[in-house]
């Protein structure tokens, strides 16, 4: 960037609103320790570079811009003498990294009054000690408030999710406990029936054959194909007739279990050849208890597997024992979030997942991305609920040039055009009092843009609202200055 040193005139800088209250001696010191430079059109400094200078516009036109994903967004354009930019927080010293927070360009030959960051910091502390203390308190106070609010928002989200997770865990846990209690009863019945069979004079060989039959029958219970209700009813009628014809008084109870285990009348004929008519009803009850025990064991296995799956999803969601910054499979994060929100997704909401499985892993802060997915999906669920109708929540991933796209779409009523530009503002919410903090989208925006160098945008018409997150496929090492407060 070409620049030319020029003379500093006390009268000129004394007319700027920033310096108009200074004494002649102070203005003289500014001119002695600062400098006036002429910049040709082009770049003055770039966002993220070390903030080494404080710039005050004397003449010309400047443009301030901020990086959002791959886009450089203009945030201000002015020709007003006295506007300033650059190392405005140099007075904070080493307590916060000193980097330019935006990019400054000139569009025509432009003159600046320039102070080095060290000189600017020294003058601030010497001339305005009380103001510096107030500014320091304001800066760190706002930062601490933002951190506290962000933590509060995360705790509220986790509280809501934990309630849903508790509900999801309770169902398989209750099923496993119920099955375990029934299994204890069935085992007791099996022991009793087996002692009765042995007391009815059944030979050792016949008992061994009966036990082998029971083993073969129960080993394949889990592999029996499911029947339609009509097919099952027909099979139960056939077995009920067989059981009644062989002296069983519990045909209505035994037939459904035998059908579920895949046992037909030919299989029961084999049992009838192993014991005499007197012992057959007890043998059939014993076989029924054995089959029911195996079915209960299968139910316990499925319930505990479901619990394990939910715990794994919760661990994946919370990113426990994981590095805060690493390469991640976005689909795993989305799936774990959907699992955590399962308690909120009622039967009236259809979830559709349209994943591009060819997408690579991306470098990210996964726990915080999960917070973004939670906020966006939770809003989508609320939007569908507010319609009072069935709806669809669609989660889509795709490649968008050199970025990864995650889109959360809902079929709610949409976002009114007059408030669409405000939805990312802190504390703005359309939810009833007590149901929303107005911080979810603000925090999500900061996580995506500030911390991941990505972008978050929304498209909305009635019946079709889409929040689109764009993440770079590759980034440099994490920048702590880009972490949201």
Residues in Cβ contact with 285 at an 8 Å cutoff, skipping those fewer than 6 apart: 189, 193, 250, 254
Q: What is the pLDDT of residue 481?
A: 36
Residue 183 lies in a domain: yes
Each of the 485 residues of the chain gets a pLDDT tens digit; together they read: 556 778 899 889 888 888 888 889 988 988 999 999 999 999 999 888 888 899 999 999 999 887 755 566 777 888 989 888 888 777 676 766 788 888 899 999 999 999 898 888 888 777 766 655 565 665 555 566 555 555 555 555 555 566 666 666 777 788 888 888 888 988 888 888 888 887 777 778 888 888 888 888 887 777 778 788 888 888 889 988 898 888 888 888 888 888 888 888 888 888 888 888 888 888 888 888 888 888 888 888 888 877 777 776 666 666 544 557 788 899 999 998 888 888 788 889 999 999 999 999 998 888 889 889 988 998 899 899 988 899 999 999 999 888 999 999 999 998 887 777 777 765 556 555 445 545 578 788 888 887 888 889 999 999 999 999 999 987 644 443 344 33
One domain, residues 283 and 393: no
One domain, residues 190 and 282: yes
Residue 71 lies in a domain: yes
Q: What is the pLDDT of residue 57?
A: 93
One domain, residues 333 and 474: yes
One domain, residues 253 and 346: no
One domain, residues 173 and 300: yes
Residue 417 lies in a domain: yes
Q: What is the reported pTM? A: 0.49
Give me the domain span that covers residue 50.
3-127
Tally of domains in the chain: 3
One domain, residues 83 and 20: yes
Written as six digits, the tokens of 411 are 């079929």
Residue ending a domain, among 110, 127, 144, is: 127
One domain, residues 18 and 115: yes
Strand 403-410 and strand 391-400: the pairing is: antiparallel
Q: What is the pLDDT of residue 36?
A: 92
Q: Is 194 exposed, middle or buried (0-12, 13-18, 19+ CB in 10 A)?
A: buried
SS (H, E, C) the chain: CCEEEECCCHHHHHCCCCCCCCCHHHHHHHHHHCEEEEECCEEEECCCCECCEEEEEEECCEEEEEEECCEEEEEEEECCCCCEEECCCHHHHHHCCCECCCEEEECCCEEEEEEEHHHHHHHHHHHCHHHHHHHHHHHHHHHHHHHHHHHHHHHHHHHHHHHHHHHHHHHHHHHHHHHHHHHHHHHHHHHHHHHHHHHCCCCHHHHHHHHHHHHHHHHCHHHCCCCCHHHHHHHHHHHHHHHHHCCCCCHHHHHHHHHHCCCCHHHHHHHHHHCCCCCHHHHHHHHHHHHHHHHHHHHHHHHHHHHHHHHHHHHHHHCCCCCCCEEECHHHHHHHHHHHCCCCCCCCEEEEEECCCCCCCEEECHHHHHHHHHHHHHHHHHHHHHHCCCEEEEEEEEEECCEEEEEEEECCCCCCHHHHHHCCCCCCCCCCCCCCCCCHHHHHHHHHHHHHCCEEEEEEECCEEEEEEEEECCCCCCCHHHCCC
One domain, residues 79 and 164: no
Residue 141 lies in a domain: no
One domain, residues 112 and 206: no
Residue 34 lies in a domain: yes
Contact 187, 218 (CB under 8 A): no
């Amino acid at each position: 960037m070409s620049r030319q040193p020029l003379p500093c005139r006390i009268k000129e800088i004394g007319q700027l609103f920033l310096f108009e209250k200074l004494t002649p001696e102070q203005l003289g010191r500014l001119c002695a320790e600062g400098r006036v430079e002429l910049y040709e059109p082009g770049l003055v400094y770039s966002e993220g570079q070390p903030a080494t200078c404080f710039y005050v516009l004397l003449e010309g036109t400047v443009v301030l811009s901020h990086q959002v994903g791959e886009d450089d967004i203009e945030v201000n354009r002015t020709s007003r003498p006295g506007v300033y930019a650059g190392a405005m927080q140099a007075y904070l010293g080493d307590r916060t990294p000193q980097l330019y927070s935006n990019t400054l360009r000139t569009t025509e030959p432009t003159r600046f009054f320039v102070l080095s960051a060290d000189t600017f910091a020294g003058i601030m502390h010497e001339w305005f000690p009380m103001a510096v203390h107030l500014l320091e308190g304001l800066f760190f106070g706002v930062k601490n408030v933002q951190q506290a609010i962000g933590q509060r928002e995360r705790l509220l989200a986790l509280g809501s999710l934990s309630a849903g997770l508790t509900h999801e865990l309770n169902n398989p846990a209750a099923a496993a406990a119920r099955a375990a209690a029934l299994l204890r009863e069935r085992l007791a019945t099996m022991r009793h029936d087996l002692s009765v069979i042995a007391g009815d004079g059944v030979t050792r060989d016949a008992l061994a054959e009966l036990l082998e039959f029971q083993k073969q029958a129960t080993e394949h219970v889990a592999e029996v194909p499911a029947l339609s209700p009509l097919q099952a009813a027909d099979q139960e009628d056939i077995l009920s007739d067989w059981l009644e014809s062989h002296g069983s008084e519990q045909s209505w109870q035994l037939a459904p279990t035998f059908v579920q285990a895949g046992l037909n009348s030919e299989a029961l004929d084999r049992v009838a050849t192993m014991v005499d008519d007197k012992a057959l009803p007890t043998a059939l009850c014993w076989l029924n208890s054995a089959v029911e025990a195996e079915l209960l064991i299968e139910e316990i296995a499925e319930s505990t597997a479901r619990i394990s799956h939910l715990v794994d999803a919760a661990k994946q969601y919370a990113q426990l024992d994981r590095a805060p910054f690493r390469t991640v499979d976005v689909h795993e994060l989305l799936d774990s979030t959907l699992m955590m929100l399962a308690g909120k997704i009622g039967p009236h909401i259809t979830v559709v997942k349209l994943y591009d499985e060819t997408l690579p892993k991306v470098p990210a802060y996964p726990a915080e991305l999960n917070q973004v997915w939670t906020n966006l999906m939770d809003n989508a669920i609320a939007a569908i609920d507010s319609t009072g109708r069935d709806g669809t929540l669609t989660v889509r991933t795709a490649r968008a040039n050199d970025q990864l796209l995650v889109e959360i779409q809902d079929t709610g009523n949409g976002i009114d055009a007059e408030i669409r530009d405000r939805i990312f503002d802190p504390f703005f919410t359309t939810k009833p009092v007590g149901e929303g903090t107005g911080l979810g989208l603000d925090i999500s925006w900061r996580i995506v843009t500030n911390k991941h160098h990505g972008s978050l945008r929304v498209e909305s018409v009635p019946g079709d609202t889409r929040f689109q997150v764009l993440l770079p496929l590759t980034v440099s090492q994490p920048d702590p200055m880009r972490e949201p407060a």
